[in-house]
C-alpha cells in the first residue's frame, strides 16, 4: 500500500513539495497578501500575513522620522550598519521586504558587506577562450538528429541552447513572461513589499536569496518562486502585474519540457516517453529572477556556482547576459563559458536527478550568474522539472533500461523525500548532493 510522505519543509527552491500547509485565514484578510498597517506607536509598522504569524518590523535605528518606516531606507541601513552582527543585518535586510532592488532604489553606491563574496566571482577557474560556446540543438531537425544532438550536448556539456521550437510554442511567449516579471520587480517598493515573504504556503513566494540565512554571502538577486506541480499553487497569489504572462508561459513551456525529455530519453536509447513515464514532467517549480543593476559587479555574484538538483531545467533569459557554465574538456581543463543571450533561444540543462537516472551518461554541471552590468537589470525565468510521484514506495535511481552487469548502477535508489531531505541540508553552492547517493 502506498503511503504518503509527511509534509516536507516548505521553503523549497527547486523541488516542488506535494503538500504544503494551508494558510490560516483571518477574517478580512485576502489570502496570501500582506496587509501593511502602521503600529500604534507610529515608530514601526506591522505586517499581517495570511501565511505566517503577524510580526512587527522595527527600524534598525528607532527614529521619529518617516524614513524609519520606509522599507527602502531600512534596507540600506541594514546593509550599512557597522557594529551589528551578521545575523541581525540579514534579518533587518529581509524585514525591509524590498530585496536587493530596494538597496539599489535607496541609492547604495557600494556593495554592502553582506553581499561581498570573499573569493570573488573570478577565483580559480578561468574564463573560456573567445569563440567557445555551449552547443545548439535545433528542434526543427528530424527527431533522430535532434535527439542525437541533445544527447551529445547533455553528455559533454550538460547544457544546450534550444532553437526553432516555434512549432510547439510561439517564440514570443518567453519574452512576454520576462517583461512581466521585470514589471513586477520594478513596481514601487511599497507595492512590491506587500508580496514579500519566504513561506511557500499557497505555493508562491517573493523574496531575496532563497538561501539567505544559510549561505556564507548573499547574492545580488531577488526571486519569485511558484510551484506548479505536483501541487499547483493558488494562482490568485501570483502578483497581478505578471500573473497572466506567467501562467501563459507555465502552460506553454510544458510542451518544451516534454519535447526535451523525449529527445533526452531517445538519446539514452530508451523510448521517447521513458522520462515522462517516470513522472519527470509532473513536478514543476518556476523561479523568476531579477538581478538589479550593481554598483560594484566584481565584488558580488548574481547566483553562486551550483548544479540544479532536478531532472531538466528550461530557462528563458533576457538580453543582458551573465549566466556562465563550467565546462571541463577531455583533457581535464575547466573554464567558465558565457551562455550569452541568443534571441529566441531557450537554455536547457541537465540536473542532478537526470545525471543519476542516466547512470552518469548525462552530466549535471555547475553554472553561476555573474554581475556584468551597471546599467541594466537582468531577468530570467527558469522552470525546474522534477519527478512528481513522491510516495515512500516510489524509488528513483538509474533507469532500469540502462543498467546491466556490464553497466552496473552507479547510484543507489532513493525516495523523493530522502532526496529532498539531503537537498535541504545544504546551501546552494555545495556540490555534494549526488555524492550522497553514489555507490
Ligand X SMILES: O=C(O)CCC(=O)C(=O)O
Positions that interact with ligand X (CB under 6 A): 287, 289, 303, 308, 315, 317, 323, 367, 369, 380, 382
Residue 47 or 210 with smaller CB distance to ligand X: 210
Q: Which is nearer to ligand X, 8 or 309 (CB)?
A: 309
CB of 323 to ligand X, least distance (A): 4
Q: Return the number of the residue (197 or 341) whose C-beta is nearest ligand X.
A: 341
Of the candidates 97, 71, 72, 117, which has an alpha carbon nearest to the alpha carbon of residue 302?
Answer: 117
Phi then psi for 228, rounded to 5 degrees? -120, -5
Q: Are strands 159-163 and 136-138 parallel, antiparallel or unpaired?
A: parallel
**Nearest approach, Cβ of residue 154 and ligand X (Å):** 16
CA–CA separation, 387 and 211 (whole Å)? 23
Closest CB 379 distance from ligand X, rounded Å: 8
CB of 313 to ligand X, least distance (A): 7
How far apart are the C-alpha atoms of 325 and 100, rounded to whole Å? 24
Q: Pick from 378, 439, 388, 375: which is nearest to 416 by CA?
A: 388
Closest CB to ligand X among residues 156, 308: 308
Q: Which residues pair with 240 in a beta bridge?
A: none
H or E element at residue 259: helix 240-267
Contacts of 246 (CB under 8 A, 6+ apart): 177, 180, 181, 226, 238, 286, 288, 381
Per DSSP, what are the bridge partners of residue 334?
Answer: 328
Considering the complex, what minimum distance in angstroms separates the CB of residue 100 from ligand X? 14
User: Nearest Cα to 313, choosing from 290, 289, 329?
Assistant: 289
CB of 60 or CB of 382, closer to ligand X: 382
The residue nearest ligand X at its CB is 380
- Could you tell me the smallest distance in angstroms from the CB atom of residue 178 to ligand X? 11
- Distance (Å, rounded) from C-alpha 162 to C-alpha 348? 7
Q: Which of 160, 152, 151, 101 is nearest to 302 (CA)?
A: 101
Q: Looking at beta carbons only, is 60 or 287 nearer to ligand X?
A: 287
- Rounded Cα–Cα distance for residues 390 and 20 (Å): 13
Is residue 181 classed exposed, middle or buried when 0-12, 13-18 and 19+ CB atoms within 10 A define those classes? buried
**Residue 23 or 310 having the CB closest to ligand X:** 310
Name which of 380 and 417 has its Cβ closer to ligand X: 380
* Residue with smaller CB distance to ligand X, 47 or 246: 246
Nearest distance from C-beta of residue 347 to ligand X, angstroms = 7
Of 305 and 397, the one with the shorter C-beta distance to ligand X is: 305
Q: What value, to the nearest 5°, has the Cα angle with vertex 308 and ends 421 and 418?
A: 20
Could you please report the per-residue DSSP string of 273-339? THHHHTTTTTEEEEEEEEE---SSGGGS-SEEEE---SSEEEEEE-SS--EEEEEE-TTS-EEEEE-
What are the grid coordinates assigned to 15, written together? Answer: 523541488
Cβ 289 to ligand X shortest distance, Å: 5
CA distances in angstroms from 343 to 133, 154, 194, 363, 397, listed in the order given: 15, 21, 34, 26, 36
Question: Which residue's CB is nearer to ligand X, number 34 or number 220?
Answer: 220
- Supply the minimum distance, in Å, between the C-beta of residue 133 and ligand X: 15
Amino acid at each position: 500500500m502506498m503511503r504518503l510522505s509527511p509534509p516536507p519543509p516548505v521553503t523549497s527552491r527547486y523541488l516542488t513539495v506535494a503538500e504544503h500547509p494551508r494558510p490560516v485565514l483571518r477574517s478580512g484578510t485576502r489570502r496570501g497578501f500582506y496587509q501593511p498597517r502602521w503600529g500604534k506607536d507610529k515608530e514601526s509598522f506591522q505586517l499581517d500575513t495570511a501565511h505566517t504569524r503577524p510580526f512587527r518590523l522595527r527600524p534598525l535605528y528607532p527614529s521619529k522620522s518617516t524614513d524609519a518606516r520606509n522599507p527602502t531606507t531600512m534596507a540600506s541601513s541594514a546593509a550599512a550598519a557597522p557594529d551589528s552582527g551578521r545575523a541581525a543585518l540579514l534579518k533587518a535586510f529581509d524585514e525591509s521586504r524590498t530585496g536587493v532592488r530596494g538597496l539599489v532604489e535607496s541609492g547604495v553606491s557600494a556593495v554592502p558587506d553582506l553581499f561581498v563574496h570573499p573569493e570573488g566571482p573570478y577565483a580559480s577557474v578561468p574564463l573560456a577562450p573567445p569563440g567557445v560556446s555551449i552547443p545548439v540543438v535545433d528542434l526543427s531537425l528530424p527527431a533522430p538528429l535532434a535527439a542525437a544532438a541533445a544527447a551529445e550536448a547533455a553528455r559533454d556539456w550538460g547544457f544546450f541552447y534550444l532553437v526553432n521550437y516555434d512549432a510547439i510554442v510561439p517564440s514570443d511567449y518567453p519574452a512576454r513572461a520576462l517583461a512581466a516579471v521585470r514589471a513586477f520587480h520594478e513596481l514601487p517598493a511599497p507595492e512590491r513589499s506587500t508580496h514579500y515573504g519566504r513561506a511557500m504556503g499557497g505555493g508562491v513566494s517573493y523574496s531575496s536569496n532563497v538561501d539567505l540565512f544559510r549561505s556564507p554571502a548573499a547574492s545580488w538577486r531577488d526571486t519569485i518562486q511558484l510551484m506548479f506541480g505536483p501541487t499547483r499553487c493558488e494562482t490568485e497569489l501570483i502578483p497581478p502585474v505578471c500573473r497572466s504572462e506567467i501562467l501563459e508561459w507555465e502552460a506553454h513551456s510544458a510542451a518544451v519540457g516534454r519535447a526535451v525529455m523525449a529527445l533526452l530519453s531517445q538519446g539514452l536509447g530508451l523510448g521517447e516517453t521513458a522520462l515522462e513515464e517516470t513522472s519527470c514532467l509532473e513536478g514543476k517549480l518556476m523561479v523568476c529572477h531579477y538581478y538589479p543593476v550593481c554598483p560594484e559587479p566584481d565584488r558580488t555574484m548574481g547566483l553562486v556556482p551550483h548544479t540544479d538538483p532536478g531532472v531538466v531545467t528550461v530557462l528563458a533569459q533576457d538580453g543582458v547576459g551573465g549566466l556562465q557554465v563550467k565546462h571541463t574538456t577531455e583533457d581535464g581543463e575547466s573554464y567558465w563559458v558565457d551562455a550569452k543571450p541568443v534571441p529566441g533561444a531557450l537554455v536547457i540543462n541537465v540536473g542532478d536527478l537526470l545525471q543519476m537516472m542516466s547512470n552518469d551518461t548525462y552530466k549535471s554541471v555547475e553554472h553561476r550568474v555573474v554581475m556584468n552590468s551597471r546599467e541594466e537589470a537582468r531577468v530570467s525565468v527558469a522552470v525546474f522539472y522534477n519527478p512528481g510521484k513522491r510516495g515512500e514506495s516510489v524509488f528513483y535511481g538509474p533507469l532500469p533500461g540502462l543498467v546491466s552487469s556490464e553497466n552496473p548502477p552507479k547510484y543507489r535508489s532513493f525516495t523523493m523525500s530522502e532526496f529532498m531531505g539531503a537537498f535541504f541540508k545544504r546551501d546552494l553552492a555545495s556540490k555534494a548532493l549526488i555524492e550522497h547517493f553514489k555507490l
